[in-house]
Structure 1
Amino acid sequence: MEHENGTGVTEFVLLGLSQTWEIQLFLFILFLIFYSVILPANILIILTIQGNPHLDSPMYFFLANLAFLDICYCSVTPPKMLIDFFNRHKTISYEGCMTQLFFLHFLGAAEVFLLMAMAFDRYIAICNPLRYASVMSRDICCGLVVASWAGGLMHSIFQMTLITRLPFCGPNELDNFFCDIPQVIKLACTDIYMLEYLMFFSSGLSTLMCFLLLLISYGALLVRLRVGGPSKGMSKAASTCVTHIILIFIMLSPAIYIYGHPFCNFPLDKVVSVFHTVVFPLMNPMIYTLRNKEIISSMKRLMGRHRLWKGKQEEV
């Protein structure tokens, strides 16, 4: 049955990460262990920040939202990838493919906008500390988070408006383990020359510009902190900026690689896609946490209270 846009393709075939059963089994076990450890840890980060009044600040509010976004982002493609390890014929319906595309770019763009909100928060904290409480109020923070989600939604709607108009009538094999724009548009039965450039500007170039803008912003803040002289507060602020820079590199570098080059296959495409959609998103809040003593100590207290409560329940 053909879709309204004229496509005769009702499903796409995913070639996956490997065709060798032993390698697929190894990858399944590896990713399952990774998810079993890291996913609950990200949930613990959110619970720790929400349950500790001492962490009731804009910086931790944004971090909790980043962890939530990363959990959502890692729920788009990995679950099907794990299931497909046991399927000889890996397929995804046309509707499922478009759904993956929508949420990948919706959540991915929302994370980029949230990183910019976090950079604005650090700018106010370092450059205007006396006005920080009034500028970064709870309403403003919530507004920035809502704006991040809205920006991601607008970006995804723009991408989907272009993709869903394409006719698919011939080949339906995607050389990947999920649906993404660089692979999907190459299967369209029409000239995609202009579309490739539109996608490059809307995803690749825009991500690169955000990446450079964030790096310049944090670089300027580090210079300002260095000029301000050594102190405990300055050292802590500098450490936070360095952590944010690490997050920026981890989150945006793979996206720049995937969407910033011509839409043709490169040897590292699948490897970068795995890190971009599976590994790095769940690792981001963890990296932030490992460099933050306040969150670590709050986690220990939270788990200590849980063990104490569980022990009392067992006694009863």
Structure 2
Amino acid sequence: MEERNHSSVTSFILLGLTTDTRLQLLLFMVFTFAYITTLLCNITLIAVICHSSRLHTPMDFFTGNLSFLDLWYSCVYTPKILLNCISEDKSTSFAGCAAQFFVSGGLACTESYLLAAMAYDRYVAISNPLLHAAAMTKKLCIGLVATSYLSGFANSTLIASYTFTPSFCDSNVIDDFFCDLLPLVKLSCDVTDSYQSLLYFILTFNTILPSALILRSYVSISVVILRMCSTEGQCKAFSTSATHFTTITLCYGSILCTRPSSSYVLERDKVVSVLYMVVTPMLNPFIYSLRSQEVKEALKTLLKRQTAS
């Protein structure tokens, strides 16, 4: 039997979102606007949280880390998407593809666990508002964020190693705009059922576990809100968790639409991937800042200081 290993594949061809030249130009302008907006908004939100003493609460700490993830996540994908839109060379190196796959997987996994930590923080804030600061100490918040990163990149290491270890066939064409798991698995020559089962187990576990933690927190939040006597208290408690719930809906709605299945539709998956990789990192700063009066006031104060100096 002829032996083939992944060293025979030195690069991959990313076909991108479309082959239409005019549409590629339009997408380039749209993605450029989204990328610049994402960078400016997330950097601004991080700066506001760091410089304002009023925004040193546990939720603001988690929000700053979420903005950092969105900033990093956008930088992993968008520059390559922009390059593919205007360049005839659609190739990416084997190492570049593996690096993008590893980093993006680690960031996505980290964000899932970070959202679970934020859900727990919302539960503590609503169930015990007077003891919130005492319960969510700085040490605990740092520990939750560090655990999210360690869990995310540990799982990404496993997935990346299992994905790039098998032999790749002669074809190196990926009908997508980034190095995703399903197209890469399809290019592998020696993918076994046990190998696929292991990959899907890792992916499913890292979706179900944070989802279960988030669901438990929100079930507890709902019980606390329903037990409140005043309507005003219920509305205030709901408003406290509404921002985070919106982010969860955007994140997990995209994940559910792109889950591995027998009904996998490539074109639909491309659109949903754009939503998750480009649109969501751009919208998150608006979701958190527009609903927070403290963030608005802190931003005004920061702008006044910059103008005065």
TM-score, normalising length: structure 2: 0.92
Deviations 1:191-230 (A, max 9, x none): 3433333222222453145335423422430331232133
Structure 2 residue 288 is matched with structure 1 residue 288: yes
Q: CA deviation at 1:130?
A: 4.2
Residue in 1 that maps onto 2:184? 184
Distance 1:192 1:256, change over 3 A: farther
Q: CA deviation at 1:277?
A: 1.2
Structure 2 residue 146 is matched with structure 1 residue 146: yes
CA contact (8 A) 1:250 1:284 kept: no
Matches within 5 A, 1:60-209: 60-204=60-204, 206-209=206-209
CA distance in 2 between partners of 1:290 and 1:198 (Å): 42
CA distance in 2 between partners of 1:249 and 1:55 (Å): 24
Residue in 2 that maps onto 1:313? none
Which one scores higher on RCO, CA 8 angstroms, separation ≥ 6?
2
Matches within 5 A, 1:217-228: 217-228=217-228
CA distance in 1 between partners of 2:51 and 2:5 (Å): 49
CA distance in 2 between partners of 1:224 and 1:260 (Å): 36
CA contact (8 A) 1:203 1:259 kept: no
Distance 1:256 1:208, change over 3 A: farther
CA distance in 1 between partners of 2:147 and 2:236 (Å): 28
Larger CA deviation: 63-72 vs 129-138: 129-138
CA contact (8 A) 2:35 2:78 kept: no
> For residue 255 of structure 1, what is the amino acid of its counterpart?
I
SS at match of 1:19: coil
Deviations 1:52-78 (A, max 9, x none): 111111010100010001101111111
Structure 2 residue 27 is matched with structure 1 residue 27: yes
CA contact (8 A) 1:182 1:263 kept: no
> For residue 115 of structure 1, what is the amino acid of its counterpart?
L
Distance 1:142 1:240, change over 3 A: same
Q: CA deviation at 1:6?
A: 4.4
CA distance in 1 between partners of 2:34 and 2:142 (Å): 31
SS at match of 1:77: helix
Residue in 2 that maps onto 1:312? none
CA distance in 2 between partners of 1:206 and 1:257 (Å): 16
CA distance in 2 between partners of 1:294 and 1:222 (Å): 25
SS at match of 2:227: helix
How many percent identity over aligned positions? 36
Distance 1:296 1:233, change over 3 A: farther
CA contact (8 A) 2:13 2:91 kept: yes
CA distance in 2 between partners of 1:261 and 1:254 (Å): 14
Distance 1:5 1:130, change over 3 A: farther
Q: Aligned-residue CA RMSD in angstroms?
A: 2.0
Distance 1:82 1:67, change over 3 A: same
SS at match of 1:167: coil
CA contact (8 A) 1:116 1:214 kept: yes
> For residue 155 of structure 1, what is the amino acid of its counterpart?
N
> For residue 279 of structure 1, what is the amino acid of its counterpart?
V
Residue in 1 that maps onto 2:52? 52
> For residue 85 of structure 1, what is the amino acid of its counterpart?
C
CA distance in 1 between partners of 2:222 and 2:31 (Å): 36
SS at match of 1:75: helix
Q: CA deviation at 1:253?
A: 1.6
Where in structure 1 are there 5+ consecutive unaligned residues? 310-316
Where in structure 2 are there 5+ consecutive unaligned residues? none
CA distance in 2 between partners of 1:228 and 1:24 (Å): 53
Deviations 1:218-268 (A, max 9, x none): 243033123213376653332121221111110122122223424844430
> For residue 112 of structure 1, what is the amino acid of its counterpart?
S
